[in-house]
């Protein structure tokens, strides 16, 4: 038909699931055979991020019930370094959720639709804690006026720290990270209708791996203390030294520990006759370790401010200076044990 134009309007509807997105970051330092968490707190012996997350786009509700997960959460993660190195799988237990309702007036009552599956279900306002696979709290929380059901949330988890150390063992120093998805679900009520909301959460784990370790120790020195006689002063002196090399990977040097004991050379024929000796270490923070048989510095650091090292060398100097009349002829000896460990 001439002169007539047909206009067609198209209505395009975009549908998405009822969900939101949040993320948590958990940081730790791994070295010296242990894990030091930077931002983890504990509740009932379980681990939680010390910082709460604010979930986006929460539906205003008249009442709600806390829950845990909408599906089975991940049970393992793999750490990836910036240089592409990967760790073996590490087991992780995602145990539940903790909610914070600070600023919202809520009245607790029994959940009319029930609840269950929770191994732990505690409502101590403003904190609600639930643990268990796909569990729902047995408590319904009614808002004084329609509002967001809660303000903050954070997951409850557990990881074996020894498994982290073991997984990173043998890998180069550096930052290693992994992301673990968690699908959280809570239930809410409006106009007598109960439904649920899913929150897609990601836990971001970041480990600063510093593989501090002591691999080997080499000692050079025969321990012979040949006496030097001062006939005029009637004194006897002697010295000997041990050169020690510690090999491994050190960020904070090493620590030398001396046992609590008397440091004396004992006569092989008469154990009551002894020669007290001293031990000095120029490279140690505490240079004088033993003074005339008495331990004065049991523990001292070595090369703690030198940065990353793979080999640390130091010398232990032994000496004595005694009156000649205080000893008798014979062979004198002693055994000295030292303990070395990486500095932390």
Q: What is the domain-level CATH number for residue 285?
A: 2.60.40.2040
Question: Do 202 and 242 fall into the same domain?
Answer: no
**Which of residues 176, 210, 244 is at a domain's end?**
210
Q: What is the structure's pLDDT at 32?
A: 67
Q: What is the structure's pLDDT at 332?
A: 95
Q: What are phi and psi of 54, to 5 degrees?
A: -95, 115
In a domain, 233, yes or no: yes
In a domain, 175, yes or no: yes
The span from the CA of 71 to the CA of 73, in Å, is 6
Nearest to 293 by CA among 317, 265, 313, 323: 265
In a domain, 4, yes or no: no
The span from the CA of 40 to the CA of 274, in Å, is 55
Q: Tell me how many domains the chain contains.
A: 2
Which domain, by its residues, includes 73?
19-210
In a domain, 73, yes or no: yes
Question: Do 28 and 120 fall into the same domain?
Answer: yes
Question: Do 205 and 251 fall into the same domain?
Answer: no
Question: Do 282 and 153 fall into the same domain?
Answer: no
Question: Do 316 and 190 fall into the same domain?
Answer: no
Q: Name residues of the chain where pLDDT drops below 50.
A: 1-20
In a domain, 221, yes or no: yes
Q: What is the structure's pLDDT at 83?
A: 84
**Which of residues 152, 187, 210 is at a domain's end?**
210
* Token pair for 10: 């198209």
Q: What is the structure's pLDDT at 22?
A: 56
pTM above 0.75, yes or no: no
335 CB-near residues (< 8 Å, 6+ apart)? none
In a domain, 10, yes or no: no
The span from the CA of 336 to the CA of 293, in Å, is 12
> Do residues 253 and 222 touch, judged by C-beta distance below 8 A?
no
In a domain, 184, yes or no: yes
Question: Do 235 and 168 fall into the same domain?
Answer: no
Question: Do 116 and 199 fall into the same domain?
Answer: yes
Question: Do 82 and 175 fall into the same domain?
Answer: yes
Nearest to 181 by CA among 329, 46, 74, 323: 74
**Which of residues 156, 175, 210 is at a domain's end?**
210
Which H or E element spans position 167?
helix 161-168
In a domain, 9, yes or no: no
In 34-115 the beta strands, taken as DSSP E runs, fall at 34-37, 40-43, 46-49, 61-65, 76-77, 80-81, 90-91, 93-100, 106-110
Burial class (CB in 10 A: 0-12, 13-18, 19+), 133: middle
Q: How many CB atoms lie within 10 A of CB 78?
A: 12
Question: Do 23 and 107 fall into the same domain?
Answer: yes
* Token pair for 204: 């971001």
Q: Report pLDDT digits (tens) over 2-48.
A: 433 333 333 333 333 344 455 899 999 998 668 999 999 999 999 99
């Amino acid at each position: 038909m001439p002169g007539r134009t047909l206009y067609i309007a198209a209505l395009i509807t975009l549908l998405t699931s009822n969900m939101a997105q949040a993320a948590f970051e958990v940081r730790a330092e791994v070295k010296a055979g242990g894990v030091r968490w930077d931002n983890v707190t504990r509740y009932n012996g379980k681990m939680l991020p010390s910082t709460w997350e604010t979930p986006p786009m929460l539906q205003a509700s008249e009442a709600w019930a806390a829950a845990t997960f909408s599906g089975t959460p991940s049970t393992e993660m793999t750490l990836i370094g910036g240089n592409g190195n990967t760790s073996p799988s590490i087991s992780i237990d995602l145990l539940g959720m903790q909610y914070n309702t600070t600023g919202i007036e809520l009245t607790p009552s029994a959940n009319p639709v029930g609840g269950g599956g929770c191994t732990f279900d505690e409502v101590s306002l403003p904190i609600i804690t639930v643990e268990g696979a796909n569990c729902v709290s047995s408590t319904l929380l009614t808002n004084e006026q329609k509002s967001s059901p809660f303000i903050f949330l954070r997951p409850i988890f557990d990881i074996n720290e020894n498994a982290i150390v073991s997984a990173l063992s043998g890998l180069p120093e550096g930052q290693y990270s992994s992301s673990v998805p968690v699908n959280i679900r809570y239930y809410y009520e409006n106009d007598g209708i109960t439904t649920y909301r899913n929150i897609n959460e990601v836990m971001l784990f970041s480990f600063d791996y510093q593989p501090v370790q002591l691999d080997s120790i080499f000692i050079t020195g025969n321990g012979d203390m040949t006496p030097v006689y001062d006939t005029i002063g009637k004194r006897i002196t002697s010295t000997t030294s041990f050169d020690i090399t510690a090999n491994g990977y050190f960020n904070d040097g090493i620590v030398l520990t001396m046992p609590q004991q008397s440091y004396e050379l004992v006569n092989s024929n008469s154990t009551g006759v002894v020669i007290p000796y001293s031990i000095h270490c120029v490279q140690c923070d505490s240079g004088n370790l033993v003074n005339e048989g008495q331990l004065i510095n049991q523990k001292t650091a070595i090369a703690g401010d030198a940065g990353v090292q793979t080999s640390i060398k130091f010398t232990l100097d032994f000496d004595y200076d005694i009156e000649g009349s205080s000893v008798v002829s014979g062979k004198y000896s002693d055994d000295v044990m030292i303990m070395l460990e990486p500095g932390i």
